[in-house]
Amino acid sequence: MADLTRLTAAETAARVASGDVSAVEVAQAHLDRIAEVDGKVHAFLHVDAEGALAAAKAVDDRRAKGDRLGPLAGVPLALKDVFTTKGVPTTCGSKILEGWVPPYDATVTAKLREAGVVILGKTNMDEFAMGSSTENSAYGPTHNPWDLTRIPGGSGGGSAAALAAFEAPLAIGTDTGGSIRQPGAVTGTVGVKPTYGGVSRYGLVAFSSSLDQAGPCARTVLDAALLHATIAGHDPKDSTSIDAPVPDVVGAARSGDVRGLRVGVVKEFGGEGYQPGVEQRFREAVELLRELGAEVVEISCPHFTYAMPAYYLIAPSEASSNLARFDAMRYGLRVGDNGDRSAEEVMSLTREAGFGPEVKRRIMLGTYALSSGYYDAYYGQAQKVRTLIARDFDAAFAQVDVLVSPTTPTTAFPIGERADDPMAMYLADLCTIPSNLAGNAAMSLPCGLAPEDGLPVGLQIIAPTMADDRLYKVGAAVEAGFLAKWGAPLLDQAPAL
Amino acid sequence: MPGITREEVAHLARLSRLELGAEELDHLATQLDDIIGAVARVGEVAADDIPPTSHPLPLTNVMRPDEIRPGLTPEQALAGAPAAEDQRFRVPRILGEEQ
């Protein structure tokens, strides 16, 4: 039998539904693959073999009874370790939550279980999703399957690496400043940040509540759409989830077409700081869009250059407040409670021991930006910039249907290269941050390998709020166009592990 | 914008409930100074008449009916507690001797 780990999610679901293979066989094949390669990749923090096989058996039992199975029933998935999973450890890549077992499921987790998706385990991430390389995990870095000496992106490097290493056909990520799209770009996989509020945040451990958004990661555009449709929708448990029908992302992915579509190239995303091979592959993707019948124009979004500074004020400010919950009192680590120390002293000792350097930097930065005397100049001004960025998008989408840019200025950089240089690290999210600030939808998908290093390059497609279906319509057309040129999916060129 | 001093960083650490060591404090002071210098660029944008955006969705006061629904049992809620006693979280003292 062909290797079950090389199938797409759509193919896997079809074969399970037809009885060609059992969900248990599919799950076991992926668990075997994880056992074989994850020692090198380190995509997973926790593998739940028992839970995965039980979930797979439940799908097989339902099929045997004649139940109709959903479109992803029996498909394995890697879940970012920032979603609560009842009975399964959830660490957020932090020592402060080491050994914590949540008593409830996140809404995303619950929806996956209901759909018969088989959760293989929890994936590695930058601590509390703060980072662009997964090096900020307290449990060691994840390695890029294309080159094990390089970063897999972040914060969702574990989820993206699991896909690229064929450890899972589907994964879930969260995107606060690019943490789904940038790992997708540097691993040659597909990642989507839905419209803010499109997917429930209930049970998603909060980093920056006005920016955090869960979304699908996959190896194909259609698989991402199937997963998007599975997890999206209004949730009474999240008052910021949008109470409106989910755009028809699956229909859009099946009918990829860009004829007559107006595509805007963001003028501000290119030039100095951009790797020549990234710019070359991006230009080829734009050329492909033209060949496929799209009308391409250049669009200026003048305030996008202020997106990064605004983001590094807003996100840390919200984080400094959100992470106050890690107080050593109700769950998680407690350090130094010797009977003499006060709660406040224990709190400070615990947070010092339990948080890593990047989390501390951001808590301190946020505390600074919100403190009296600095609030107006920093946090207040950043919120105004946020308004101007949203207005840039409004003006752009009055002229074009979607915007495109490189997802990230460079390909995957070597592990360690930017580890203690926060400003260099922050540049990885230059092109992805504006959509988090404005809340609109965006996707990254592969557009080739950079000639100078042979590493994947991502094309970012950006759509207006609640027009997530446009991402899939354009993404599917680009994917099919490149497949016709390349003759095989890009990941077929990844080295054997 | 003036640079951030080591004393300010120590004050921020106290506000943030982080018991930073001396070496860590020095290292962070340098890095925070760099970062604050870079993010101060938001001040270049003339935005006097621009309203702030705190959230991408125009939502205010989302309400739902006040209905009783099952929640966690005390055992489940306390399962992750560093210390528990009599169905309560056991915490270090929160008041000083004189209070």
Which residues in chain B (46-75) have CB-CB distances under 8 A to chain A? 47, 50-57, 59, 62, 64, 72
* Residue A396's CATH number: 3.90.1300.10
Domain assignment present for A295 = yes
3-state SS assignment for residue A144: strand
- Residues with Cβ < 8 Å from A271, sequence gap 6 or more? none
Q: What is the pLDDT of residue B1?
A: 46
Q: For A231-242, write each residue's pLDDT tens digit.
A: 999 999 999 999
Quickly count helices (H) and strands (E) in chain B.
Answer: 3, 2
Q: Cβ separation of B54 and A236 shorter than 8 Å?
A: no
Q: Cβ separation of A381 and B43 shorter than 8 Å?
A: yes
ipTM (interface predicted TM):
0.94
Domain assignment present for A101 = yes
Distance CA B85, CA A400 (A): 62
B34/A contact by beta carbon, under 8 A: yes
Average pLDDT, chain B: 90
Q: What is the pLDDT of residue B97?
A: 64
Distance CA A131, CA A368 (A): 20
- Residues with Cβ < 8 Å from A348, sequence gap 6 or more? B14, B17, B18, B19
Q: What is the pLDDT of residue A228?
A: 98
Q: What is the pLDDT of residue A218?
A: 98
Longest dimension (CA), chain A: 73
Does residue A392 surpass a pLDDT of 50?
yes
**pLDDT band per the 50, 70, 90 thresholds, residue B94:** confident
Residues of chain B with Cβ-Cβ distance to A101 below 8 Å are 79-80
Rg (CA), chain A: 21
Q: Count CA atoms closer than 13 A to A189's CA, side-chain side.
A: 38
When pLDDT is averaged across residues B52-59 and rounded to a whole number, the result is 89
pLDDT exceeding 90 applies to what percent of chain A?
98
Q: Cβ separation of B16 and A383 shorter than 8 Å?
A: no
Q: Cβ separation of A387 and B35 shorter than 8 Å?
A: no
Domain assignment present for A330 = no
Q: For residue A285, with 0-12 CB atoms within 10 Å meaning exposed, 13-18 middle and 19 or more buried, which class applies?
A: buried
When pLDDT is averaged across residues A53-79 and rounded to a whole number, the result is 97
When pLDDT is averaged across residues B69-82 and rounded to a whole number, the result is 94
Domain assignment present for A341 = no
Is A94 noted as a catalytic residue in this protein? Answer: no
Cα of A158 to nearest chain B Cα, Å:
25
Q: How far from each other are the two terminal CA atoms of chain A, in whole angstroms?
A: 21
Does residue A1 surpass a pLDDT of 70?
no
Domain count, chain A: 1
Q: Cβ separation of A334 and B83 shorter than 8 Å?
A: yes
Range of the domain at A158: 4-303+387-493
Does residue A245 surpass a pLDDT of 80?
yes
Is A80 noted as a catalytic residue in this protein? Answer: yes
Residues of chain A with Cβ-Cβ distance to B17 below 8 Å are 324, 327, 344, 347-348, 351
Does residue B2 surpass a pLDDT of 70?
no
State the DSSP string of A468-494. HHHHHHHHHHHHHHHHHHHSS-GGGGS
Cα A428 from chain centroid? 14
Q: What is the pLDDT of residue A181?
A: 98
- Residues with Cβ < 8 Å from A127, sequence gap 6 or more? A92, A93, A94, A136, A137, A138, A355, A356, A358, A359
Domain assignment present for A456 = yes
pTM here is 0.97
Distance CA A207, CA A67 (A): 39
Closest CA to A365 of A124, A130, A93: A130
Domain assignment present for A443 = yes
Residues of chain A with Cβ-Cβ distance to B40 below 8 Å are 309, 377-378
Q: For residue A431, what are its two tokens?
A: 């092109």
Domain assignment present for A380 = no
Q: What is the pLDDT of residue B60?
A: 82
Domain assignment present for A363 = no
